[in-house]
Amino acid sequence: MTAQGRPLLYLIAPLLAVGTLFFAPLATMLRYSVQPAASAAGGSGGLTLEHYARFFSDPFYLSSLALTIATGVLVALVAVAMSYPLAYLFWRSGGHARAWLMVLLLSPFYVNIVVKVFGWMVLLARFGLVNRALVGLGILKAPAELLDSYVGLLIVLIHRCVPFMVLVIAGSMEHIDTTLLESARVCGSGAAGVFRRVILPLSIPGVLAGGILAFSLTVAAFVIPLLVGGATGRRFVSVLMYQSVSVTQNWNLGAAMGAILLIASVATISAASRTLKGSRFGTIISENFGR
């Protein structure tokens, strides 16, 4: 009875666990999303798209969805621009410097999201460091309500995405054949030319995958929009879903929002997965994505 002999015997318990504790719950959620509101849990009855229709016809939900998606795009764009120089330096450095940069990049992953948000609440508070610095530098006349503002929300969302993005872009730079850089030099390209003509085009897959990942992370973000960004943050689809399920007890609508997030996640992740699979840092990225 070795693993070589009867691998399927070994797989029974793990498959049963992931089946009943992951796939069956997802199926239940999807079923709730197409069940008529009146029918009791598990009751029979026809299928309906009324909950989806309600979501997509109510201006409140529609604008919330637009806000969530637009924020995802904005965060992805800013995070790409911010992370690219970090990925470049990481790729170019070696030995101890690289090991230390890796530690710096990974350390935010191991700090609880609630703790990170708390740190930002302290920094962005009315009399926090950021406000004091901005007033001290003369950029602001009086402290602003950064914590409850959209800018505050963006800062914290971007903060969460940057380490992922750096690793994804650096991973795609690892595939660049360094002899190409030398040949470009030999053929007369300056440093700027090498960067523009060789490095930048070859790192595009990483930029795209990183952008998709940041979008995906942001659209399904929950703790950050719940605590930062005031009323705007609380219009994120994930927060509305939570309120629907836990506060107003409209499980069917909550399930429909869950299904929409599920579809968005599956679509974006599968779009980025090929690049991530080929990446040196793919494991690290996927291990920290779901948290």
Partner 1 sequence: MLVAYNALVYAWLLAPVLIVIVFSFSADAAFVFPPRALSLRWFRYLAGRNEFFSSAYVSLEVALVAGAASTVLGLLASLALVRGRFPHKDLIEGVLMGPLALPSIITGVALLQFFVLTGPSDAMGRLILGHVAVCTPYAIRSISACAYGIDPSLEEASRVLGAGAWRTFRRVLLPLLSPGIGAGFLFAFITSFDNVTVSLFLIGSDTITLPIRILTYLEWQFDPSIAAVSTVLIAVTIGAVIGAEWMVGFRKRRASLP
Per CB under 8 A, which region of 65-73, 135-143, 157-165, 194-202 contacts partner 1?
157-165
Rounded Cα distance, 217 and 215, in Å = 6
With contact defined as beta carbons under 8 Å apart, do 252 and 32 qualify?
yes
Stretch that binds partner 1, among 59-67, 68-76, 123-131, 197-205 (CB under 8 A): 123-131
CB of 89 to partner 1, least distance (A): 5
Among 71, 131, 203, 238, which residue interacts with partner 1 (rule: CB under 8 A)? 238
Burial class of residue 231, CB neighbours in 10 A (0-12, 13-18, 19+): exposed
- Minimum distance of partner 1 from residue 258's CB (angstroms): 5
**In this complex, which beta carbon is closest to partner 1, that of residue 39 or of residue 183?**
39
Cα–Cα distances (Å) from 130 to 48, 75, 147, 163, 261, in that order, read 50, 20, 10, 22, 33
Using CB under 8 A as the binding rule, whether residue 36 contacts partner 1 is answered as no
Site membership for partner 1, residue 134 (CB under 8 A)? no
- C-alpha to C-alpha distance for 95 and 99, rounded to whole angstroms: 6
Q: What is the 3-state secondary structure (H, E, C) of 23-59?
A: HHHHHHHHHHHCCCCCCCCCCCCCCCCHHHHHHHHCH
Q: CA 27 to CA 24: how far, in whole Å?
A: 5
When binding is defined by CB under 8 A, the residue of 15, 37, 191, 204 that contacts partner 1 is 15
**162 is a contact residue toward partner 1 (CB under 8 A):** yes
Cα 254 to Cα 242: distance, rounded to the nearest angstrom: 7
Specify the residue for token string 């609880």: 112
Q: Identify which range of 44-52, 82-90, 177-185, 194-202 contacts partner 1 by CB under 8 A.
A: 82-90
- How many Cβ atoms from other residues are within 10 Å of residue 215's Cβ? 24
- Which listed range, 15-23, 49-57, 174-182, 194-202, lies at the site for partner 1 (CB under 8 A)? 15-23
Cβ neighbors of 31 (< 8 A, separation 6 or more) are 255
Q: Does 289 bind partner 1 (CB under 8 A)?
A: yes
The binder of partner 1 chosen from 119, 190, 193, 201 (CB under 8 A): 119
User: Does the footprint of partner 1 cover residue 125 (CB under 8 A)?
Assistant: yes
The stretch among 57-65, 180-188, 197-205, 214-222 that binds partner 1 (CB under 8 A) is: 214-222
Among residues 181, 202, 262, 271, the one that binds partner 1 under rule CB under 8 A:
262
Among 227, 229, 233, 275, binds partner 1 (CB under 8 A): 227
Interaction residues for partner 1, span 172-211 (CB under 8 A): none
Let me know if 73 is exposed, middle or buried by CB neighbors in 10 A (0-12, 13-18, 19+).
middle
